[in-house]
Structure formats: C-alpha cells, structure tokens
Amino acid sequence: MGTILGINSKFISIRWKLLSTYLLLLVIALLIINIFVYERIKSNYITEKEISYITQGNIISNRVRLSVDEENKMFNQLVLSQMMEEVSRLVDGRILIVDRENTVMYDSFHDLKNSPINLYEVNRAMKGEQISHQYDLPKFGKVLYIGVPVSYYDDYSDTILGVVFLSVSLEDTYQRINNIKNLLFFISLITLLLITVISLLLSDMISEPIKELTEVMQKTAHGAMDQKVSMEGNDEIGQLSKAYNFMSTKLSHIEKQRQDFVANVSRELKTPLSSMKLLSESLLTQPDTPVEVYQEFLKDIDSEIDRLNGIIESLLAMVDMNEEKLKLDYQLASVNYLVEKVANSIRPLAHKKNIKIFINQWEKIQIYLDKGKIYQALMNIIHNAVKYTDEGGKVVISILKEGKYVVIRIDDNGIGIPTDSLPYIFERFYRVDSARSRKTGGSGLGLSISHQIISLHQGTVDVESTVNVGTTFYIRLPMELNP
C-alpha cells in the first residue's frame, strides 16, 4: 500500500504535472503541424498533377484538331489513329478521343473504340469546360479523370468536335505522399522523444529546488527555526528561496524574542507575586503586628499589584493589536492639549528623579485623531524618555508643523540606545537590555504599541540616539487626515 501511495504521490508531483502538460501541448502541436503539412503537400501534389495532365490534354487536343476533315468536320480515324499511337506513348495513362456523338474514336488501350461512352468529365468538356476529378475505384485505386474539349475554329464559328479524355493513376503520387507522411511521423516521434528527455532534465531543475524547499519548510514546521535554503538565482524559485530565508530569519528572531519575553514576563510576574506572598505570610504569622507595619506592607502589596496590572494591560493591548480589534474614534482634537496632559501625568515620576519636562509650542494645532490612542502612544514614548534619563536630566517636547504633518519631537539626555538596537526597538518583545528592563519594569511592548497606533493614523515614528548622550523621537501625524 505504501508503494502504491508512493507511486501515486510521485506521479502527482509538480515535476510530472509540468512534464505531462508540456508533452500534451507538444503532441497537440505536432499533430496539428503534421496534419497541416500533410494536407498542404497532398494538395500541392494533386494540383500539380491536375495542371500537368490538363496541359497534356490541351496539347493532345491541338494535335487531334489536325485530324479533322474540314469538309464534314469529322475526325479522320486513320489519321487520328496514326497520330495518337505516337502521342499515347508519351502519356502515362489512358487516352480516349470521343466525338460529339459520345462515341470513342480512339482508345489507347484498344478496348472501347467505336463504343458509346457516358462520363461526367466527357459531358462537361462537350460544353467547353476543362475539368478534372478524382475517383477511388475498387479495381484501380485512386485515379484522375481529365476532360478537355477539342474545338474547331473557322471564319464563321467555333465548334466543339469532341473531347480528349485522360485517365491517370494516382497510386504512385499517393505512395509518395504517404512516404512523406511517414517521414513526418518519424521525425515528430524522434522530436517528441528528444524533447521528453530534455524536459525530464529541465523538470528536475525545477522540481529539485522545490523539493529541497519543502523539506526545509517541514523541518521548520517541526521547530527547527534555523533552517536555510541553499539556492541561488534570480528566477521565481530563487526569489522564493530568498523570501523563505528572510522569513526564517525573522521567525528565528521573533521566536528568540518570544522566549526572552516569556522568560522576562515570568520573572516580572514572579517578583511581585513573591513579594506579595512574603508580605502576606509575614502578616499572617505575626498576629500582633502594629497597624503602621500593616499599612506599610499593604502599600507594598498595592505597588506590586499596580506593577502586575501594567504588565497585563500591555499584554491585552498587544492581543487587541494582533486580533485587529483596535478601532479608532476620530475627533477634532488639540495636539497641544494632549501633549500637556501627558506631560502633567508624568511630572510626578519626573519630579522624583529631579527631571525637568519642557514643552516648546509656537502655535495651537488641531487635527483629527483618536485622542485616547494617541494619548497612550505619547505616554509610552514620553514615559520611556523620563524612565531612561538619569536624575537631574531633562526631557524637551516640541510641537511644530512640517509640510502637511504635525511633528511631535521628544528629546532627552538619557542613557541612549545602541546603534545596533535601533532597527528593532519597535518590534514586539524587543528590549535593549534585559537587566535594565527588569530594573525599570519594562516589558518590551510599549514602543511596539505606540508604533502601531501612529501607523493606524497614517503617521510615522522615527528615532535617533547616541549612547550616553540622549535619544530623539520624531512623531509625524498628517494634518489633513481623512478618517
């Protein structure tokens, strides 16, 4: 059963589909070409025969006219017989000379002399036509009948005195035509065999890379994310291989980020849970604990709960983004007011670190946007600016117009971002420094969420940074957004 299935799968592979389709088209093309060529050759051969024998019939007609007695305008049989005996040797066929009474005056086979005859070609030639027609006779095979009128001209009239009738065998002609047909068939068969061999080789060139790519994809599907396809070229398969290698690299990177994120989130969740567990156990095991200690412990537990809520909210926001549940509620809003609102919310954190927040604004700007979502995006970015700026630093927020965009520029003089990390900071789960993130409580989702929110507003967010100098974010939102 397995062998049968193996054979079946072999013959339904893309290689055999390509080969069978190509060969089927080739067979149809060769068949059409052979039929066309055969019919053209047959038509040309038969037409040449007809023209040749009609010409010979006209020559004989001119010779026969010399045997006509001018007085009674009848054939002179003696003269006619002597003349035709010489001529008949030159014609490969049977010659009949028929008078206007449809009586055979001469027969090169000497069978029908002085016998009446009634043939279609003779009757038509008596009316002045030159006619030819093919027949397939049981006894003689394919023959060609030719009828040419014998006309007599004088000063008063043009009279048809009789007919030259030729009967010619076409068996030799059709034999040559069939030989040519067989030769065409043989050439087509050889061509088909050669093209089949070449097609097998070419199909291998196409199917083998696909087979290799399939095997690598199967390994990837079973968890081997580091698999690569070693194929080069600029054709479609080469481009597919490059696309797969790029996808594999991205998947490996995402998988590593996911594992790091799971590990970091596990630690982040474990730390506050452990703290709350320790604090609650301490309270339970010490029934005479003073109220002040209870309050202090409960404050610590409340702080750890807020930390857990922050992580969970980030995860839920990421899920909403993934499931495309994010709906924007566009309203005409003041960009200046939103920035001031975010700055005021973050000032308590900045005040604890003695960080100054400045807002530069030269004019009031109103555009259509989702106030809640843009507030969230600004909060994530500005909060990071304060969080990663050392004590005594500053954060400067500037609002300005740049062409058709409103630009929100956020500068800080904090610890900065390494150059090799800049291309990845907007990716989910990415964190520049895991140890630093654990210290500050980051989860690697804030910037990704901000980037998606701004992109949904048809805007862009870019970043410039130098380690130990500072970081600058540029948020550009279209002023003429059509929600």
What pLDDT, in 10s, does the model give residues 358-372?
999 888 989 998 888
Residues 277 and 169 in one domain: no
Residues 58 and 147 in one domain: yes
Q: What is the pLDDT of residue 206?
A: 67
What is the average per-residue pLDDT within 336-343? 91
Mean pLDDT lowest among 111-120, 211-220, 348-357, 467-476: 211-220
- pLDDT band of residue 403 (cuts 50, 70, 90) is confident
Within a domain: 247? yes
Within a domain: 212? no
For residue 51, is pLDDT > 60? yes
What is the average per-residue pLDDT within 9-30? 73
Q: What is the pLDDT of residue 410?
A: 93
What is the average per-residue pLDDT within 194-211? 74
Q: What is the pLDDT of residue 474?
A: 94
* Nearest Cα to Cα of residue 113 among 128, 123, 124, 103: 103
Residues 20 and 168 in one domain: yes
Q: What is the pLDDT of residue 154?
A: 64
Range of the domain at 400: 331-478
Within a domain: 222? no
Residues 35 and 156 in one domain: yes
Measured N-to-C along each axis, helices 446-456 and 371-387 cross at an angle, to the nearest 10 degrees, of: 140
Token look-up 């020559």 returns: 59
Within a domain: 437? yes
What's the domain count of the chain? 3
In CATH, what number is assigned to the domain containing residue 300? 1.10.287.130
Q: What is the pLDDT of residue 13?
A: 63
For residue 417, is pLDDT > 80? yes
Within a domain: 187? no
Of 153, 177, 201, the position where a domain reaches its end is 177
For residue 323, is pLDDT > 60? no
Of 177, 196, 220, the position where a domain reaches its end is 177
- pLDDT band of residue 249 (cuts 50, 70, 90) is confident
Residues 248 and 368 in one domain: no
Q: What is the pLDDT of residue 472?
A: 92
Q: What is the pLDDT of residue 152?
A: 76
pLDDT digits (tens, 9 = 90+) for 132-147: 999 998 888 899 999 9
CA atoms of 417 and 381, how far apart (whole Å): 14
For residue 290, is pLDDT > 80? no
Within a domain: 321? no
Which run of H or E residues covers position 32? helix 14-64
Amino acid at 218: Q
CA terminus-to-terminus distance, the chain = 61
For residue 320, is pLDDT > 90? no
For residue 7, is pLDDT > 50? no
Q: What is the pLDDT of residue 483?
A: 59
Q: What is the pLDDT of residue 415?
A: 87
Q: What is the pLDDT of residue 66?
A: 80
Of 250, 283, 312, the position where a domain reaches its end is 312
Mean pLDDT of all residues in the chain? 80
Residues 32 and 171 in one domain: yes
**Of 182 and 203, which is predicted with more confidence?**
182
Share of the chain above pLDDT 70, in %: 79
Share of the chain above pLDDT 90, in %: 12
Cα angle value 456/421/395 (rounded, 5°): 70
Token look-up 């700055």 returns: 343
For residue 303, is pLDDT > 60? yes
For residue 392, is pLDDT > 50? yes
Cβ count near 131 (within 10 Å): 20
Q: What is the pLDDT of residue 265?
A: 66
For residue 408, is pLDDT > 90? yes
Residues 153 and 42 in one domain: yes
Within a domain: 411? yes
* Token couple for 296: 């202090």
Q: What is the pLDDT of residue 90?
A: 77
* Token couple for 122: 């003779």
Residues 128 and 27 in one domain: yes
Residues 131 and 30 in one domain: yes
In CATH, what number is assigned to the domain containing residue 430? 3.30.565.10
pLDDT digits (tens, 9 = 90+) for 70-82: 666 777 777 878 7
**Of 10 and 357, which is predicted with more confidence?**
357
* Token couple for 256: 């590593």
Q: What is the pLDDT of residue 4?
A: 38
CB 372 within 8 A of CB 329: yes
What is the average per-residue pLDDT within 267-292? 73
Cβ count near 392 (within 10 Å): 10
Residues 414 and 455 in one domain: yes
Q: What is the pLDDT of residue 481?
A: 67
For residue 407, is pLDDT > 90? yes
Residues 263 and 344 in one domain: no
Q: What is the pLDDT of residue 106?
A: 87
Within a domain: 21? yes
- pLDDT band of residue 442 (cuts 50, 70, 90) is low
For residue 208, is pLDDT > 60? yes
Residues 299 and 397 in one domain: no
- pLDDT band of residue 438 (cuts 50, 70, 90) is very low
In CATH, what number is assigned to the domain containing residue 48? 3.30.450.20
Angstrom CA distances, 434 to 183, 265, 297, 402, 445, stand at: 80, 11, 28, 36, 13
Q: What is the pLDDT of residue 1?
A: 39
Bridging pattern class, strands 158-169 and 94-99: antiparallel
